[in-house]
Structures are given as C-alpha cells and as structure tokens.
Structure 1
Amino acid sequence: MVQIGFHASHEQVDPAKLLQAVRDAESVGFDGAMCSDHLAPWTRAQGESGYAWSWIGAALALTRFPIGLVTAPGQRYHPVITAQAAATLATMFPGRFWAALGSGEALNEHVTGAEWPDKERRDRRLRESAAVIRALIGGERVDHDGEVRVHEARIWSRPTAPPELLAAAVSPETAAEVTSWADGLITVGSDPAATAQTREAYRDAGGGGPLAVQIHVSLAGTDAEALALARDQWSHATAPAERTWDLEQPEDFEALADPTEEKLRSAVLISGSATALAEQIAQVALGYDRVYLHHVGVDQTAFLARCESELLPMLRRLL
C-alpha cells in the first residue's frame, strides 16, 4: 500500500502553526510527514524558516506517525553533528524518524563563508558525509580526511536500530549515483515522465529500499484561485533549474522567476477540483512507495479539510 504523507514547509509557515498543521494532518488521515531543512525561504513572500531539527522533535512527540526531513550535511552541518541529531531522534522515537541526505543549495549553505563547491565536489562530499553518519550511528569511532574532516569522533547515545538514510535526488543522473550508500530515494517533481525517469534510474543502478516523491500542489476553491496561490508562494520554482543550486538569496530567486501560467503549471499541480488533482498526483506518483503532498499555500487549514473529505479518499482508490 502506498503511504501518503504531508509535507511541512518551514519556508512558508510559522513553526508553531506548522506544528499544529502536522498534528491536523495526522488527524485527517495522512500516514506520515516530512519537512524541509532551510535557513532561508525561497522568496521574501514566503517569509519564514524555522529550525527543522528543533521542530521535528516536537512534532514527533506530539504525533504517532513517522516524520523525516531532507537535510544537507557537509557545510552548514558537520556530518558528526547530523549523526548525533539523527541518532538522538531515532533513540527517542524508534522506527519513526528518517532522514534524506542531499548535496544542498547555496541558499542555505553559503552563510558559513566557505567556498560553495561545484556539483562533482558536492556529490563527493555527500558520499563521504553519508558514510561518516552511518558509521557513527553504527557505533564506530571515525577518523576521516577528505571533502569533510573528522577527528576520532564517536556518538554515545545511539538507537537500537538505525534510522533510514534516504538519498535526495532530483535528476536521473544523481539518482543512479547515490545507490552505493542510500537506504532509499526521495525526489521531487510534478511531471510523470520526469519522476518515472528518476525512479527507473535509481532501480536500474541497483538502488533498493523505498521510493518517495514530494509533489507540490495548489488546491483552492477555483482553478484561478489555485493558480494565484501558486504564483504568490511558489514562483521561485519557475527559475532555471541549472541556476538554482548556486543562488544565495531569496531576491536572487525572485529575479530569475518566470511565473507565467505555463511555467507555474510545470512546477506545481494546480486545480480547483480535488478529483482532477488526485488524478494528476496518481500519474506523477506511479511506481513510488511514498507520496508527500506539499500544499503551497500558507494557510493549511482548508487544504487539510479537503484532504479529509475529498483528496485522501480519492488517492487511496487511485494509488
């Protein structure tokens, strides 16, 4: 059975309100949740960015379903610190916490003042960080000198069973590359052909474990209202993809955005109809084990109400 999860967007919602939203998501029938781990929002209109690791501990304590986050070890976070944080959450909430590791974006990482590496070095740094994190959670004493440096580190509070360490990948090329260390894959997209290519690249390269996809959606009273919501809150997704990894400020994303209707609909599933939206989601999520829905609006209340009455029942039939 496909698990349907709720994405909690720290970039858009006050952490306290987001905490209530994830509790509401559980009560209306979602199977789990995930969140982003940002220092900055994508645009100034979003206007928030709470600390994900603090929030996720509270969210796990106030719910019963599994919750994970997408995080980038190696620059803003030293992998030893990521390992300690993940081990602590997995110890407190056995079987409920997971992390997806990605190579990151300059938007969040540039603040250290360190050089922002090219894609090849970022991928190498991610592989090294993943190995360090896994070894530390497994009880090993780690000394490492490469893209990241670790000196005789140990994690003392460790879970009985390690948390899942998924890989976060957008492109088929990255999906094929992470199979050497990942327990599973999470990607993001709204185009069925693109998500299928990423899924197949991971499996064809020998990748095992669960496949998850995060899908941005905008559901409102009418199609026009849903489009306006996407334009206000998620216009950064229309910036050229090849540029976005290296942008440092929300203003940079705003300057490159092209929020025409065609571009917005290529990045977000937009509809005033829950039935039509469910059908689109099912196409994008074909072949995936977990589907995480991110409603791009700031106010999650109306969306969650429609999830309970319309969207989730439809998706259960389609997925």
Structure 2
Amino acid sequence: MLETLHPRDAVELAVHAQEHGFSGVMATDRFQPWTPRQGHAGFVWDVLGALGERTTGDLGPVAVPGSRMHPAVLAQASATLAAMNPGRHWLGVASGDAVDEHVTGDYWPEAPGRIARLFEAVEIVRKLFAAPAGRDVRFSGHYFRLEATRLWTVPEAAPEVLVATGGPVTARRAGRQADGLITMAAPPERLQVLLDRFAAGAREAGKDPDTMPKVVQVPVSWAPDLAQAEENVLANPPIGAARLPRSDLRSPHDVAAVARLLRAEDLAGRVLVSADLAAHAKHLQRLLDLGFDRLYVHDAGPDARAWIDAYAAEVLPALTR
C-alpha cells in the first residue's frame, strides 16, 4: 500500500514477506494518498523495478490509463518491467479515482465514460503488445489517439492484462477483452456474480475462463486483541473497500473528511477484522474455493512485519487450493 509506506520501506517489507512465504506483490499506481495521514504516494513503476532486483515473485501494478498516463506510455512501462523480469510481471488496469487523475486538469468523465475509456486503453495496450516485430501501430478512438509507433523494448512474452472491476457489466466485458480479472473482497454472493459474468464474457470471446487469472485484493485488520484490530482499521481504513462516494473527490483532505464517517460495521463483509488467525485462514480459503487463484492481502495495522510473521506462522500453512 504505497500510500502508507516510504518506497524503501515498501521494498524491505516485500523482501521480508517473500522470506516468510508470500509469493508476489500487487501495488496501486497513486499520485496522492487517500488521506493526508497516510503520507506517501511513491511511483509504482520505480518501486516494482526495485522489487524485481530484490525478490523473485510476481510483480503486478494496478495502473490507470488516462490523461495522467497515456496507454502507450503505460504499455512501454509494462513491457520494460516484463523484459527485465521474464515471466513475473502482469499489468492491472483500472478506471481510477479523481484524487489521482484530476492533477493534469483534464475533464474527469462520469462513471460510464471512465469505463469506456478504460477498455479503449486496453485495446491500445494489447495492440502494442501484440504487434509483430518491426510493425507500427495506429489507433484513433473516442478518448485516445496513437500515431504510427511501436514498442522497441519488448519482453519474450507479453504481460497479461487484467481489468479491475467491482460490477457485473464490466466483469463480463473484461472476460471478453482482457486476460484476467481483479476485484476487491466482498460478500461471497456478490463475488460469485462477478466470476460468473467474467466467465460468460470469456466464453463469448472463445476463451476458457478456467485458465484466466482471477485476482482478489483482500483487506484485513489483525491484531492480538480484537479491540486493537478494530481501532487499526478505523485509523487506516481501506478506502477502496469502503462504501464511500470517493470516485469524484479531488483532495486527500476531502477523502479524509468522508472517511471519518466510517464505522466498523460499514466494512462488514468486505474487510475481515479479527484477532483469530484461524478466522483469517478460513476467510482466505473461502475466496480460493470460490475460484480466485491469486489473493493479495493487506493489513490495516501499523506493524506490517508482525502481521507478516503471524500469517506466515498460522495462516499461509493452513491454505489449500
């Protein structure tokens, strides 16, 4: 969670996590933190580049193609990271939030426009990844233009492109147009709908959904004492998992003002808050059983090393595919 960590600390924690049984990293491309208290917003591509040298697991950014980063530049960054770390990098893309994307001063679209822009960007990225050697790509769409160009540094195999979504319509479209799905932990019945719609879209495009990556981000709050776990999650709430009207907020100060309205019950079903590590293992296993094959877990507490050590000792060994 780069909005809460100095980049050097993020790298050291990822190294510590790998040494204790975790096998990869997902990090979001942020220009600002959600709230001023979080205090950081390191550039995700620099951090993942450093992680490529210090770890051996997978490296997945969730980036936002738009006015802040044109899809062609995003494709270049992804291709370079994949070339430097063969077989380890996948590219996640999302429609984004105004707190990050408004900074260039361009128009911030309504939700349908953001989704349409996202999939237009996916088309550009995939065209650049798939272009034969020495062939230029052109594109003229509603949101983006691409004059004749190509990627000059390319990996042996193109990164998978995964679309982040929380809605069934977008999930179906992701199944048709992308290589995989990313979503946030939610009640099982809601996640099952997303997985079913994603699978339907994949089959419409002639793809096998069983072979496509399905990723879930899992926010949790663990502490040896339940009261402390509850205090931690409200002190550093996982904004992405909360039911907050956040997408159009421009300032971390505005997000913080809205987040102050959160109560622990507002996160029920989306964030596991528990001192019982067996409950954490059960929560993660339920997601695996639903059909997700990659779980990226983030704890709200201030001591990430203690959480990593606790999970390594009692949670990770309890999980089965």
Q: Is this a same-fold pair by TM over 0.5?
A: yes
* Candidates 310, 313, 318, aligned match of 1:309: 313
Residue correspondence of structure 1 range 10-89 to structure 2 within 5 A: 10-89=2-81
Q: Look up the equivalent residue of 2:215 and give its one-letter code.
A: A
1:230–1:297: 8 Å Cα contact kept in structure 2? Answer: yes
Q: Output one character per residue of 1:40-68: Cα deviation in whole Å (capped at 9) or x when no partner.
A: 11112211111100000110111111111
- Could you tell me which residue of structure 1 aligns to residue 206 of structure 2? none
* Candidates 140, 143, 146, aligned match of 2:138: 143
* Candidates 274, 283, 299, aligned match of 2:286: 283
> Post-superposition shift, 1:95?
0.5
1:176–1:201: 8 Å Cα contact kept in structure 2? Answer: yes
1:237–1:267: 8 Å Cα contact kept in structure 2? Answer: no
Q: Output one character per residue of 1:11-52: Cα deviation in whole Å (capped at 9) or x when no partner.
A: 111111110011111110112221111111111221111110
> Post-superposition shift, 1:237?
5.2
The 1-side partners of 2:280 and 2:242 are apart by 24
The 1-side partners of 2:60 and 2:78 are apart by 10
Q: Output one character per residue of 1:78-102: Cα deviation in whole Å (capped at 9) or x when no partner.
A: 1111011111111111100111111
Residue correspondence of structure 1 range 86-165 to structure 2 within 5 A: 86-139=78-131, 140-146=135-141, 147-165=143-161
The 2-side partners of 1:304 and 1:181 are apart by 35
* Candidates 252, 255, 272, aligned match of 1:253: 255
> Post-superposition shift, 1:289?
1.1
* Candidates 241, 260, 276, aligned match of 1:273: 276
> Post-superposition shift, 1:195?
1.7
SS of aligned partner of 2:69: coil
- Which ranges of structure 1 fall in alignment gaps of 5 or more residues? 1-8
SS of aligned partner of 2:202: coil
SS of aligned partner of 1:109: helix
The 2-side partners of 1:98 and 1:250 are apart by 28
The 2-side partners of 1:35 and 1:90 are apart by 15
Q: Percent identity?
A: 35
The 1-side partners of 2:271 and 2:34 are apart by 15
1:23–1:62: 8 Å Cα contact kept in structure 2? Answer: yes
SS of aligned partner of 2:35: coil
**TM-score under structure 1 length normalisation:** 0.92
RCO comparison, higher one (Cα < 8 Å, 6+): 1
Once the two structures are overlaid, the 10-residue window that deviates more, 135-144 or 163-172, is 135-144
> Post-superposition shift, 1:239?
5.6
Once the two structures are overlaid, the 10-residue window that deviates more, 189-198 or 150-159, is 189-198
**TM-score under structure 2 length normalisation:** 0.91
The 1-side partners of 2:101 and 2:149 are apart by 23
The 2-side partners of 1:238 and 1:254 are apart by 15
The 1-side partners of 2:100 and 2:181 are apart by 22
2:82–2:158: 8 Å Cα contact kept in structure 1? Answer: yes
Alpha-carbon RMSD: 1.7
Q: Look up the equivalent residue of 1:175 and give its one-letter code.
A: A
Once the two structures are overlaid, the 10-residue window that deviates more, 128-137 or 300-309, is 128-137
Q: Look up the equivalent residue of 1:255 and give its one-letter code.
A: A
